């Protein structure tokens, strides 16, 4: 536990800087070692007063002290000897698994479990949103606990995820960029998606396809953001 500098000065956390300095002056005058040459306790008391004053009279040190003091008190309140039954674990799935669903084997090798390996099955429903959390109940010696599983998406070479939205690039010809039209691209759910390209589209322009992104936690799907890229035609001719 950290020393209670406020108790040393006879104050509380709401005390002002002026009150801290005034309390220090009064107490330091009372216990100064020069007045108590035969008392070793006076020297110790003076050190405590100096430490309290140095910490609490500096706004930065006082703020750090409050943070550490609160953390120390919370730690002291934590129950001791309680069997920890809950485990948190992230798992990454390919994008299509969020659309079609998946069945996962959850295995827990806990040295504290006298029954050995724990094996459970987690069924991930179709149209599950990335970031979803599932609670897999533990049994046996750890009954009442759970494995808390959070689903994340694997990094994908084609799509980049941002929340429920997806981003991808579409490279087209300069002729397509000039005339416009449409292109078919593979979507994240495995189906082909139609992208309508306006005539004279700009390089780097983003085309938004509503409802073609990842599943959302409350239903529906995010958007697919397609960035158009192409190489302009450059002709160089001799002038002679």
* Residue percentage of the chain with pLDDT more than 70: 95
pLDDT at 82: 59
50-83 tens-digit pLDDT: 899 999 999 989 998 888 888 777 766 655 555 6
> What angle do helix axes 59-77 and 40-56 make, rounded to 10 degrees?
110
The answer on pLDDT for 96 being more than 60 is: yes
pLDDT at 156: 82
- Contacts of 129 by beta carbon, 8 Å cutoff, 6+ apart: 98, 164, 214, 215, 216, 217
Name the one residue in this structure whose structure tokens are 């959390």.
133
Q: How high is the mean pLDDT of the chain?
A: 88
pTM of structure: 0.59
Q: Is 31 exposed, middle or buried (0-12, 13-18, 19+ CB in 10 A)?
A: middle
The answer on pLDDT for 39 being more than 90 is: no
pLDDT at 128: 93
* Residue percentage of the chain with pLDDT more than 90: 55
**133: which strand partners?**
150
pLDDT at 75: 66
123-141 tens-digit pLDDT: 999 999 999 999 999 988 8
pLDDT at 78: 57
Measure Cα distances from 179 to 170, 176, 182, 196, 202 in Å. 16, 5, 10, 12, 12
pLDDT at 200: 96
pLDDT at 67: 86
pLDDT at 45: 84
- Contacts of 175 by beta carbon, 8 Å cutoff, 6+ apart: none
177-230 tens-digit pLDDT: 999 999 999 999 889 999 999 999 999 999 999 999 999 988 899 999 999 999
Q: What mean pLDDT do residues 89-113 have?
A: 92
Residue 112's pLDDT band (cuts 50, 70, 90): confident
The answer on pLDDT for 105 being more than 70 is: yes
């Amino acid at each position: 536990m950290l020393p209670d500098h406020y108790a040393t000065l006879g104050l509380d956390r709401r005390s002002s800087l002026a009150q801290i300095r005034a309390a220090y002056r009064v107490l330091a005058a009372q216990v100064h070692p020069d007045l108590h040459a035969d008392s070793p306790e006076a020297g110790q008391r003076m050190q405590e007063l100096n430490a309290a004053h140095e910490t609490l009279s500096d706004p930065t040190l006082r703020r750090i002290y409050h943070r550490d003091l609160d953390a120390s008190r919370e730690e002291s309140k934590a129950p001791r000897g309680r069997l920890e039954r809950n485990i948190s674990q992230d798992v990454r799935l390919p994008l299509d698994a969020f659309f079609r669903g998946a069945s996962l084997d959850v295995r827990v090798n806990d040295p504290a479990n006298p029954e050995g390996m724990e094996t459970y099955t987690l069924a991930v429903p179709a149209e599950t949103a990335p970031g979803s959390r599932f609670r897999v109940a533990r049994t046996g010696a750890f009954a009442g606990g759970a494995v808390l599983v959070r689903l994340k998406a694997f990094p994908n070479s084609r799509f980049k995820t941002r929340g429920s939205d997806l981003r991808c690039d579409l490279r087209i010809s300069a002729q397509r960029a000039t005339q416009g039209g449409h292109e078919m691209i593979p979507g994240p759910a495995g189906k082909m998606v139609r992208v309508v390209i306006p005539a004279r589209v700009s390089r780097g322009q983003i085309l938004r396809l509503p409802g073609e992104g990842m599943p959302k936690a409350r239903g529906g799907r995010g958007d697919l953001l397609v960035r158009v890229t192409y190489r302009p035609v450059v002709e160089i001719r001799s002038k002679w």
